[in-house]
Structures are given as structure tokens and as C-alpha cells.
Chains A and B, each alone.
Chain A
């Protein structure tokens, strides 16, 4: 039986502007793709229920603006997240070069236990590729991240990416629960479904007092 915390994990999509975060989300939640989607302003939000084994998990996905100027708003949403997809555009090396900065920003605000997947998007544009798969995979391995290459345009690996992250979260929490007598949902989940960034953190602190 899943606790309410576990059954609504929240996942953030982060990465440079224009790498395809919004389209990854719309492909995953509505099976839609837009060729002329506009830049995201602030944060958008979507949910989708996925089956993990026998359990139905309603994932809340926060699509954040990639533009630097919205950082003040978007970083607030990292806090409640238990998973993150750090997206870069594999046809633009610059979006991969700043991955490390994004990672730092994420860890600055989120729980240390957050599950992170590095996602190289736009794999359909193989002729324009600027980031070799192996290079990104090595980076992911060295930093303890999951890694996948996706295409929101032709749907390649989109489902797999989100489901892998959710599965990893699920396993991590189950494992922690076995290891501890305390309710681990407190450290990983967020009581109001990620709406109150930092609530998980505060609770954890309350307990350690």
C-alpha cells in the first residue's frame, strides 16, 4: 500500500531554454507536440497517472522556464521535488555545457536524495548532433545520474524516461522505508503534493530536533 506522499511524487523538468522541456511534458501527459511552442513563463504544471507494478502513481510534473530571468520563481519548485529531469538539446553543445551549473542549482534547493535523470532531447535530429552519446553517458555516470536520449517529436524514450525516474523514486523510498522505523515519506514526499516547497525539508528538521 502506498502512502499519499508516495502516490503523488513531484518531478521537475529543468534545463536551458529551448531544449524541449515543455514538449517532453506535453508528449508524456497529452501525447501532443507543438512545433512553434512559446517560451515557458514561470512554471507550468501537469499530471499523469502511471502504473508502477501494481500501484497507480499520479505523478505531478512541474515544467519550469529555462530562461535565467525567471530563476527566482522556478527555483522555489525544486524544493518539493523528489525527481528531476535535467534536459539538454543534443544538437546544441552549449545546452550540455551548462548541465553542471543546473545540477548545482538543483542540489542547492532540492533534497540531496532527489532522483535526477540527464536527458538528451531531440534525438530525431541525428545529423545535427553536437553532443556524443558516450560523453553525456559518462558525465551522468560520474555524477550518479540516470541517462537517456529522447525525442519529444517522434516520442522516442519519452515514456521510458519519466517511468524510469518514477520507478527509481519508488524503489528508493521503499528501500528507505524498510531501513528505518520512521516514516520515510517525510523526507522524500511533500504533504500537499509538492505545493508547499520546503515542507518536506521542514518536517525532516522538525523530527531531528
Chain B
């Protein structure tokens, strides 16, 4: 393996975000799960809406996918079939059955080559391909079950087709912004209020995240109480006003805000 390849592989595997998967706080993992949530919301809105409606945390369904990088999730081994090594077999044009079962290895090839975005692509592909099936779910257990089932079957066996059918990702710039914002939120533990935050993000209040984070660090509970009551009162529409308040540092006034909200101001 040449130096260039080595560098590429190590960049793919040990890029900062992936490395953060396995630290005590698992910040990278939590963030990536939220990023996936945003991606699904953008690319597959029906699934995103269902997940929100049922209140399923992405951690619940994709932790294993992300932590294990799809090992033990998607098919790994081919040798049992024909005793031929997949890569060679494909090059020599041996029967298709012999090369079709090594989806994980194929994913890892792409992961080494292109970096951690592959993790999202695979997840999105799985979800997109089985969108109708997932949308049949009516409860949390249903969802858990569906997400387990979509990693099985003929679709994931055909690794080449599988890897080529990934949906086009939204712009890298968007991803980067969302990633940074979500990461700071996750770090500060603000994600409990995800409903509010999501609507704020949609309304373009993203630039407030720094302020929010400092609020939350100062007093998580108080902040979430406020946010909660805002959400309940449907203050979403006022998010522009809120934004300017937030910018002005209205933290001390949050109790007042709360009572205003309650009073319907």
C-alpha cells in the first residue's frame, strides 16, 4: 500500500468525527445521529415526520449501525458460499452469487476511500429503499422492528447495486453548518428540546445556538422549562422576536417570558 493510500485510509477511519464515536461522552456519535435525523428530515420528510410524531430517538434505531460501522448489521462474509475471495472473484467474472454477500466490506472500502459521510449514505439508502415499509409503523416497537428488518433481505445482499443506489446528499456546506450547530447543542445537552430547536432551525434561528448553549450551560433545567413552555404555548411563530431577545441576552428574563407566554402575550 502506498503512502497516499495509507493516508487516505487513516483519514477515512480516524477523522475527528469518527474518533469521537468511542470517547466516554460519545459526542461524535450523538451528533452524527442528529445529523442523520436532519438529513432524513430534508431528504425523506415522510419518515422524518413519522419519527417525530412517534417521538423516536435516532439513538434507538441507528446506534448499532454507527458504532459497529455496519458490522453485525449488514452481511459481511462471502467465503462460505463458494470459498472464493470476493474481490478476486468479481474481477475474474466468477458467478455473481460469490461476490454479493460482502456488503460490509464494500461499505468499508468506500469508508476508507471517502470518509465518514459514507455512514450517512448507507443509512439514507437503507431508509429510502424501505420508506414505504417504515411508514407502515404505528408505534415505537414497530419502528424498532422495521429498522431491524431493513438490514436483511436481498437488497442488502447485492452490495454493488446497494452502494450505487445511495441518494444524492445535500450540499456539503449545509451538512457542515448543521453538523457544527448540532454538535454544540448535543454537547450542551439542548437536544431535549429538539422540537423547539428544530422549528427554530427551520425558521433560520440557527445563529442563536451559541447563546442557547451558554444558557443551557448556566442552568439546563431552567432553560428547558422555559423552552418547554414556549413550545406548549406555540411561540414558534414568534421565533424572529425570540431570536432578537436571545441575541440581547434575555436569559435573566426567562421567568418573566414564561409568565408572559402563559398569559398569552
Which positions in A face B, CB cutoff 8 Å? 38, 41-47, 60, 69-73, 76, 192-193, 195-199, 201-203, 205-206, 209
Nearest CB of A to B218, in Å: 16
Q: Quick one: which of A38, A45, A205 contacts B141, CB cutoff 8 A?
A: A45
Sample of 23 A–B contacts (CB below 8 Å):
A41-B64, A42-B60, A42-B64, A43-B63, A47-B141, A60-B140, A60-B141, A71-B24, A72-B26, A72-B27, A73-B29, A73-B59, A192-B55, A196-B55, A196-B57, A196-B192, A202-B221, A202-B224, A202-B225, A203-B228, A205-B221, A205-B228, A209-B255
Complex CA–CA separation, A71 to B22 (angstroms): 11
Residue of B nearest to A38 (CB): B72
Q: Are B55 and A206 in contact (CB under 8 A)?
A: no
Pick the residue among A46, A47, A72, A206 that contacts B25 (CB under 8 A).
A72
Q: Is B30 interfacial (CB-CB < 8 Å)? A: yes
Q: Which of A72, A195, A209 contacts B57 (CB 8 A)?
A: A195
Answer yes or no: B56 CB below 8 A from chain A CBs.
yes
B24, B55, B59, B192: the one contacting A42 at CB < 8 Å is: B59
Chain B CB within 10 A, most for which of A38, A42, A76: A42
Residues of B within 8 A of A192 (CB): 54-55
Residue of A nearest to B68 (CB): A41
B180 adjacent to chain A (CB < 8 Å): no
Q: Which residues of A contact B67 (CB under 8 A)?
A: 41-42
Contact: A72 with B30, CB < 8 Å? yes
On chain A, the residues within 8 Å of B13 by CB distance are: none
- Give chain A's interface secondary structure class: mixed
> Inside 8 A of B228's CB, which chain A residues have their CB?
202-203, 205-206
Residues facing A in B121-153 (CB within 8 A) are 140-141, 144
Q: Looking at A46, A69, A72, A203, which has the most chain B CB atoms within 10 Å of its CB?
A: A72
CB within 8 Å for A43 and B60 given contacts A73-B29, A192-B55:
yes
Residues of chain B in range 24-73 having any CB-CB distance to chain A below 8 Å: 24-27, 29-30, 54-57, 59-60, 63-64, 67-68, 72
Of chain B, the residue at the smallest CB distance from A65 is: B63
Enumerate chain B residues within 8 angstroms of A202, measured Cβ to Cβ: 192, 221, 224-225, 228
Residue-by-residue, is B60-99 near A (CB-CB < 8 Å gives 1, otherwise 0)?
1001100110001000000000000000000000000000
A58–B144 alpha-carbon span in the complex (Å): 16
List, in ascending order, chain B residues with CB within 8 A of A41's CB. 63-64, 67-68
| B140 and A76 form a contact (CB under 8 A) | no
Tell me the smallest distance from the CB of A3 to a CB of chain B, in Å.
17
The interface centre, meaning the residue of A44, A69, A195, A202 with most chain B CB atoms within 10 A of its CB, is A202
Q: Is B199 an interface residue (CB 8 A)?
A: no
Q: How far is the CA of A71 from the CA of B26 in the complex (A)?
A: 9
Q: Is B229 an interface residue (CB 8 A)?
A: yes
B225 and A209 form a contact (CB under 8 A): yes
> Which chain B residue lies CB-closest to A68?
B24
> Are B60 and A45 in touch, CB under 8 angstroms?
yes
Q: In the complex, A193→B56 CA distance in Å?
A: 10
Inter-chain contacts of B24 with A (CB < 8 A): 69, 71-72
A47 to B140, CA, bound (A): 9
Q: A41-B67, A42-B67, A196-B192 are in contact. Are A206 and B59 (CB under 8 A)?
A: no
Q: Report the minimal beta-carbon distance from B9 to chain A, rounded to whole angstroms.
A: 24
Which residue of chain A is the closest to B148 with respect to CB atoms? A44
A209 contacts across to B, CB distance below 8 A: 225, 229, 255, 258
- As a 0/1 sequence over residues 225 to 259 of chain B, the CB contacts with chain A under 8 angstroms (1 = contact) are 10011001000000000000000000000010010
Distance of A196 Cα from B64 Cα, bound (Å): 20
B residues within 8 A CB of A193?
55, 140
Verify B56–A195 contact, CB threshold 8 A. yes
When distances are taken between beta carbons in the complex, the residues of chain A under 8 Å from B27 are: 72
**Chain A residues with CB under 8 A of B25:** 72
Given contacts A73-B59, A205-B225, contact A198 B192 (CB under 8 A): yes
Residues on the A chain within 8 Å of B255, using CB: 209
